[in-house]
Structure 1
């Protein structure tokens, strides 16, 4: 079996786009297409259905993919185990992360890995909470950095940081003029929120029900950039954590007030795939993430946008 060609097959199945696969591998789209066509000829059936938006697995491809994924993972693991007998981490660590936390955590992690463990490669994908959960469940990522609402970690999660929730408005906005704002002030306030399904939305709905507050979701948008730009235009509000606000402050003029009565806390957690044992490289990257998190993240100035410390 052609290991490299089957790796391309899995990449195409995950990304759904031959151009993205080509970009990821530093090759051309025709070259990727040619190799996949050769695979289909060897298999005696079509693996992909070409659509106007990319490629999707055929029924035959759906049956083949899990077996190929297990074979590739086993092959990678064997190579890594052989090298790891020397005690040196090696291999690719696949990480899923929320867009609001991608920078500067990922860039810091990248340079630290490059400096200390040159045989380890990072493969980072951004996604929202439900998407990250699906990737973990399917084994598409080894680790995920995401929000958890439970006060105690479950399923082997490692809690890194506890964060507060802020009501974000445009600079000069009257509702967010003070360092804190009552949860009751959200009543009928026009909000920009993440699209469903979303566990964060579910938790906010539950809190609103408990406190008799009507949440007025005027716009749904999964893009943090879109959310913060809409808010910066004035008249709309978002409920965000300090990392998202700190990053948005580079492009938008915003101000934020911490929500109180009740305070809404979340935990930034490091979650692990439940498929197989973690490699030495994965365990090493986990330790680095915890190390980076210990130095802290954005903190509120008490007025306006959070700043990193």
Structure 2
């Protein structure tokens, strides 16, 4: 089992095709096929189901791909961290950002890393909070924003802030940041509800059950951007973190207000894997991200948020 074989098996699994994998790897198809067959012979099991629809990993192949992807990632990190420039911070930093904070945090983070740490390979992913936690656990992310998560055996969490969810409507709704709205009153409106499994849905369901009110649901949506598009199209109101609508409020394309009776709070922290020493590149990006978040709260750019003591 060697580097080329592992690269081939991962690339074929991701593309579903020896032809596409060969193109990406700048190899002839026969070379990729030999690498896969050699690995199957060594392990004594088929790694792919082959059909006219393409190549799909078997159960054994999927397990190998998962571990091979992780091993190749570590080798890539080691290569990136070996720098010929004395004192330069180098390496990969793969950051997970909650969907509601993309507009507020990603542009300044990219800018400051490019300016201060040009040799850091910055990678950014966004997903549901649950997916970000899983990627932290498996090592696919180096650090991530998470909410309502305490320390776990695999992840240490640095608490950053506490915020609350807001009700969001079109400008004509006249919602105002200084005039909270009762959950029961908000749910009388046609409502765009997060889909089951979404982190916001869990918080939303807890609040509506506490208020004893069923929402007037018109549609369920699986992303913050989709919720905002539907609100702007006049399909109803929705519930979102204040950070996710700060730009829209400034532009006047939405109106919003904090929810109360009950409030829907959440605690946001920075999660880091507990595995060994934190690489310098990850430490540098974590420091900058925390600084940007604290500045956003202090400047009022993150509405209704309160900083937490470290």
Report the TM range for the smaller structure's normalisation.
0.7 to 0.9
- Where structure 2 has 5 or more consecutive residues not aligned to the other structure, the ranges are 305-310
Partner of 2:296, secondary structure, is coil
Matched, 1:290 2:290: yes
Residues 20-169 of structure 1 aligned to structure 2 (within 5 Å): 31=26, 34=29, 36-37=32-33, 39-44=35-40, 47=47, 56-76=56-76, 78-79=78-79, 83=83, 88-146=88-146, 148-149=147-148, 153-155=150-152, 156-169=156-169
Q: CA deviation at 1:2?
A: 6.1
Once residues 248 and 122 of structure 2 are traced to their aligned partners in structure 1, the CA distance between those partners, rounded to angstroms, is 25
Q: How many residues align?
A: 290
- Where structure 1 has 5 or more consecutive residues not aligned to the other structure, the ranges are 302-309
Q: Which position in structure 1 is the counterpart of 2:260? A: 260
Q: CA deviation at 1:18?
A: 6.9
Once residues 209 and 279 of structure 1 are traced to their aligned partners in structure 2, the CA distance between those partners, rounded to angstroms, is 44
Query: Which whole-Å deviations, capped at 9, do the CAs of 1:255-295 have from their partners, x for residues lacking one?
Result: 11221233222233211234554222111111111111121
TM-score (norm 2): 0.76
Partner of 1:157, secondary structure, is strand
Partner of 1:89, secondary structure, is coil
Structure 1 contact 193–238 (Cα < 8 Å) conserved: yes
Partner of 1:213, secondary structure, is coil
Partner of 2:292, secondary structure, is helix
Matched, 1:218 2:218: yes
Query: Which whole-Å deviations, capped at 9, do the CAs of 1:136-164 have from their partners, x for residues lacking one?
Result: 22222111123x236xx433212233222
Q: Which position in structure 1 is the counterpart of 2:308? A: none
Q: CA deviation at 1:121?
A: 0.6
Once residues 241 and 255 of structure 2 are traced to their aligned partners in structure 1, the CA distance between those partners, rounded to angstroms, is 13
Structure 1 contact 93–121 (Cα < 8 Å) conserved: yes
Where in structure 1 do 4 or more consecutive aligned residues deviate above 6 Å?
A: 50-55
Partner of 1:295, secondary structure, is helix
TM-score (norm 1): 0.76
Q: CA deviation at 1:10?
A: 4.3
Q: How large is the Cα RMSD of the aligned pairs?
A: 3.7
1:182 to 1:84, Cα distance in 2 relative to 1, 3 A: farther
